Amino acid sequence: MFKFTLSAIVCCVAAIYATSIYAADADEVRNTLQDQQEVAVTIYNNDLALVKDQRKVKLKSGLNSLALRDVSAQIQPETALLRSLSNAGSFSVLEQNFDFDLLTPEKLLEKYVGKTVSIIKTNPATGVESTEQAEVLSANNGVVLKIGNRIETGVPGRIVYNDVPANLRDRPTLVVQLNNKNTNEQNVELSYLTTGLGWKADYVAELNPAEDKLDLSGWVTLTNSSGASYRNAKLQLVAGDVNRVAPQHAPAIRALRKTEMMMADVVPMAEESLLEYHLYTLDRPTTLSENQTKQVALLSATNVPARKELVLRGTDYYYQSSYGDLGQKMKVGVFVEFDNKESSKLGMPLPKGILRVYKKDSAGNAQFVGEDAIDHTPKNETVRLKLGEAFDVTADKKQTDFKKLPNPAKGNNLYESAYEITLKNAKKERVIISVQEPIPGDWKILKESQSSTKATSNTALWKVEVPAEGSTTLSYRVQVKY
């Protein structure tokens, strides 16, 4: 008995496909990428894209079956709209079918369950082939065949099929039944929504030695796992949170395979407002190949004014009880911020994404110093990044006094507590640390070693200078009423 091999079935399928493209209607008009005149793709943040595919087509008068090949495998068929650009109103669409069951040896076998196939065996000694008829009983997790009066599992030879079922296609195909009035060649546009196309923004910033300016580059990463290619596409991106209705059932038609990374030329994108969103347009066509990741330039700016800040932020739990020691060698956060405005050499609305920051070392090599996610940032807003925790700047904090005062009124509690924060700096230059203390309830500072400001209704802020390779102690007493 001869073993069933995938390559043998592929050969048989290829032979059938070469002689009988597939068993579609004889009058079907097949339209391929060779007929494509232009394609435009608008990609949204949340795995959604609008495709506008323009093609030339020649239809007969009356009823036509137009097979539009190479559409997205993840098309939302209910959103498809076909219209004539050169002869408006020349046809009316009666019906449309999306054939996403693609031709594979496994699918072909599944479609022949309950039907008869030919099994060809080759005698290994003589090389003589013999043929038997077999009924396919099952193709679920293997093959079950009825050959004569016996049942066999597996395939004892090569399988030969009579034809390819009409609902199996080698490429995703939208079949449109329409009634046509004009027999001249015309340009049509198929527009539809699809998943499988996505984009995200990534930014790279390099701090100068003084850490008061940075160079910023923005990149858009495009991912195409839609099951189709878009050649020389007009590309637009929409940034913003577009509302979508969650589908009740969204089957996974095509899995994402390993992607190929491509880097496009540096051509910044043009930006404009679109309703309450922002639209970015690439000023040249680009090809989005199937199962590909591509990067295109979004923006570039140099010498953007920046501000670095070291922040020690407390918590509010220790203002209504006695705690004593609150922490040793506490971490101090490192933040960098800049203004997204024209006077800072920016001013373009920034799509949300990851911003990675680098700084050159003493040898002139750029080293990674941290990253943070930014949300959609309008013009004239501030971008603030947390890069990490300082290595050479730490803090020791303790509660030096706590007492509960007599209740000032029914339902109120009154507390008084004192704190001491020792800030240490092992660097060879002085630093300024922003000490932020979120204080709950109705509070007031009774005594402090340095002046504070009320940053918000529940936050006291001190700007504390710490000398090089030295330390500074901040002490304060606060009264809190709940």
Residues 356-409: tens digit of each pLDDT: 999 999 999 999 999 999 999 999 999 999 999 999 999 999 999 999 999 887
**Token pair in block for residue 234:** 């007009």
What are the residue ranges spanned by the domains of the chain? 6-102+168-194, 113-160, 306-348+384-481
Phi/psi for 304 (5° steps) reads -75, 125
Residues 38-71: tens digit of each pLDDT: 999 999 988 899 999 999 999 999 999 999 989 9
Quick one: pLDDT band at residue 11, thresholds 50, 70, 90?
Answer: very low
The neighbour count for residue 126, using CB atoms within 10 Å, is 7
Contact 152, 145 (CB under 8 A): yes
Task: Please state, rounded to an integer, the average pLDDT across all residues of the chain.
Answer: 86
Quick one: pLDDT band at residue 276, thresholds 50, 70, 90?
Answer: confident
Residue 416 to residue 145: CA distance in whole angstroms = 86
Residue 26 to residue 476: CA distance in whole angstroms = 89
Higher pLDDT, 163 or 286: 286
pLDDT, residue 409, reads: 78
pLDDT, residue 8, reads: 46
Q: Is 170 helix (H, G, I), strand (E, B) or coil?
A: coil
Contact 228, 71 (CB under 8 A): yes
**For the whole model, what pTM was predicted?**
0.71
Higher pLDDT, 453 or 265: 453
Residue 475 to residue 477: CA distance in whole angstroms = 7
Q: Is 4 helix (H, G, I), strand (E, B) or coil?
A: coil
Tell me the β-bridge partners of 474.
Answer: 421
The dotted CATH code for 306-348+384-481 is 2.60.40
Residues 92-101: tens digit of each pLDDT: 999 988 876 6
pLDDT, residue 247, reads: 58
**DSSP assignments along 290-338, one per residue:** TTEEEEEEEEEEEEEEEEEEEEEE--SGGGSS---EEEEEEEEEEEEEE
Contact 310, 332 (CB under 8 A): yes
Quick one: pLDDT band at residue 157, thresholds 50, 70, 90?
Answer: confident
449-470: b or e for each residue (b if 16 or more CB lie within 10 Å)? eeebeeeeeebbebebebeeee
**DSSP assignments along 422-470, one per residue:** EEEE-SSS-EEEEEEEE--SEEEEEEESS--EEEETTEEEEEEEE-TTE
CB neighbours of 318 closer than 8 A, spacing ≥ 6?
A: 326, 399, 417
Residue 283 to residue 306: CA distance in whole angstroms = 30
